[in-house]
Amino acid sequence: TRYKHRGVTNKRKVILLTCRVHPGETPSSHTLRGFIDWLTSDDPHAVALRLHVTFVIVPMLNPDGCFHGNYRTDSLGTDLNRAWENPTEFEPTLLAVRSLAKTYAEDSTVELDFYIDCHAHTTSKASFLFVNPPEESDSAEAWERVAALPRLVDLNCEGSALGFSLAACKFCSDPSKSGSARHALRDLLLKRGASKAMCYTLEMSFYSPPNAQKTWTATTSNEASYEAFGRAMGDSFADYYGLRSDAAYPRQRAVMTRVERARKNGGVDPESSRKKNGGGSGSFAF
């Protein structure tokens, strides 16, 4: 099936997800399980998404580190999330994922839209996304595209105990993290012609209190809440591809309308409120 997303392309979409490069970040696995359970369910939006999008999921990048009970490293003491630029035979999972990304980037019949590396954060009381600023730094359309997923996740978590914060999301090109998946795969995809692929790091909070709640409780940080977040992430992908009713989800539709408006204006949106600041980072007014 080829899905023509909002009249832009008829290539089949691909979304690549990875998880547990750091063994101790267990909330990420519960989140990914919730997403996979939803994606493979009979939910009509999940069924529609499977028809239109290919999901490539690597649920555990560091199996030996997980087996040994390490917190951050593999069995050789390597932090794999600083080894993505030039992995060796001692980092076989990174080599395999890079090969996968290259294959999809070079396949003219598909379009790799998203890469998301799933982590968990020990100090943030809210879950959030690290977002790569777009290469087309002066393009309102590019900024609206990369901001769409954080906005949609925020809307689909709103009013729940899922603890996602749009305000906590960071548009960041920190050179000290050049060896991380988000940065290294971006560079690989750019070299292979997949310049529009959007790369993120999802950071699930170990605490996950609702916005109005200041302290952790067991009711907001457990397997069920993380799995529910995974389902909300699935709904966000369905919204991005226009697979849920616009009438039933008008605010989600409005997010994608911003993207379309910027595209129709040739990438220059007079209503865009993007700002730039120093240090190679961008802040975006949501």
For position 193, what pLDDT does the model report?
87
**Least confident residue range of 92-101, 115-124, 146-155, 175-184:** 175-184
The bridge status of strand 12-19 relative to strand 53-58 is parallel
SS3 of the chain: CCCCHHHCCCCEEEEEEEECCCCCCCHHHHHHHHHHHHHCCCCHHHHHHHHHEEEEEECCCCHHHHHHCCCCCCCCCCCHHHCCCCCCCCCHHHHHHHHHHHHHHHCCCEEEEEEEEEEEECCCCCEEEEECCCCCCCCHHHHHHHHHHHHHHHHHHCCCCCCECCCCCEECCCHHHCCCHHHHHHHHHHHCCCCCCEEEEEEEECCCCCCCCCCCCCCCCCHHHHHHHHHHHHHHHHHHCCCCCCCCCHHHHHHHHHHHHHHHCCCCCCCCCEEECCCCCEEECC
Residue 272 pLDDT greater than 60, yes or no: no
- Percent of the chain past pLDDT 70, that is, above it, reads 84
pTM of the model: 0.88
Between 43 and 125, where is the model more confident? Answer: 43
Give the bridge partners for 56, in sequence order: 16
Residue with tokens 């359309």: 141
Mean pLDDT on 256-272? 76
Residues 164-178: pLDDT tens digits? 999 999 998 777 777
Model confidence at 2, pLDDT cuts 50, 70, 90, reads very low
Are 209 and 215 in contact by the 8 Å Cβ rule? The answer is yes
State residue 270's pLDDT score: 41
The set of catalytic residues is: 203
